[in-house]
Amino acid sequence: MTYDHYRFVSLPWLAQIPCHWGLKPLKFLLSEMVSGGTPDTGDSTNWVQEADGVPWVSISDMTRSRIITATEKRISSRAQREQRLRVLQPGTLLYSMYASVGKVARLAIPAVTNQAILGLLPREGKLDGQFLERWLEHFEQHVLYLSSGNTQENLNLRKSAQFRCVSRHARSRS
């Protein structure tokens, strides 16, 4: 889609946006950013094979498929409660902060995530989930501008919350 008027923005990964769009930190366009965790891997009771376990999303699950319909590992309900891991609902957008930085996937099942993955919940009326998914996919090639690390690139919740994202609803200065 093209627009009649554009304005320049001062971001290394984005040259211009339609004049009636704005740039806002991602945290203002989301209702929540949910981080995950990993139960003690040395405690075999945390990890289950049964179908009644809670699907646990890792980076390898995200790199295998953009739509998460199953996970390699499941955790016990007890481990989920003890770790206070929030079960994210189908449709939740997942974003990787460690290892494969900037990968995006969408949940098709209820699941929890490890600490390397954020669950992103767009604020109703502020940001369309599919738009955010495409924006982050485009942004992946540029995310190294914001990441840091010695042996592998990493992001954190604070850096991710500050990502500048286009918003069609309210104009803000870039």
pLDDT tens, residue by residue, 141-173? 656 555 444 444 455 555 555 555 555 554 444
| pTM for the structure as a whole | 0.75
Domain spans of the chain, in order of start: 26-166
CATH superfamily of 26-166: DNA methylase specificity domains (3.90.220.20)
Assess whether pLDDT exceeds 60 at residue 73: yes
Q: What is the mean pLDDT of the chain?
A: 80
- For residues 140, 143, 149, 150, the Cα torsion angle rounded to the nearest 10 degrees is 70
Which residues lie closer than 8 Å to 161 by C-beta, 6 or more apart? Answer: 25, 26, 27, 33
Share of the chain above pLDDT 90, in %: 40
Residues 99-117 have a mean pLDDT of 90
Measured CA to CA, the distance from residue 50 to residue 84 in angstroms comes to 21
At 174 the pLDDT is 43
At 143 the pLDDT is 60
At 99 the pLDDT is 67
Measured CA to CA, the distance from residue 32 to residue 115 in angstroms comes to 15
pLDDT tens, residue by residue, 13-26? 667 777 777 777 77
CA neighbours within 13 Å on the CB side: how many for 27?
Answer: 7
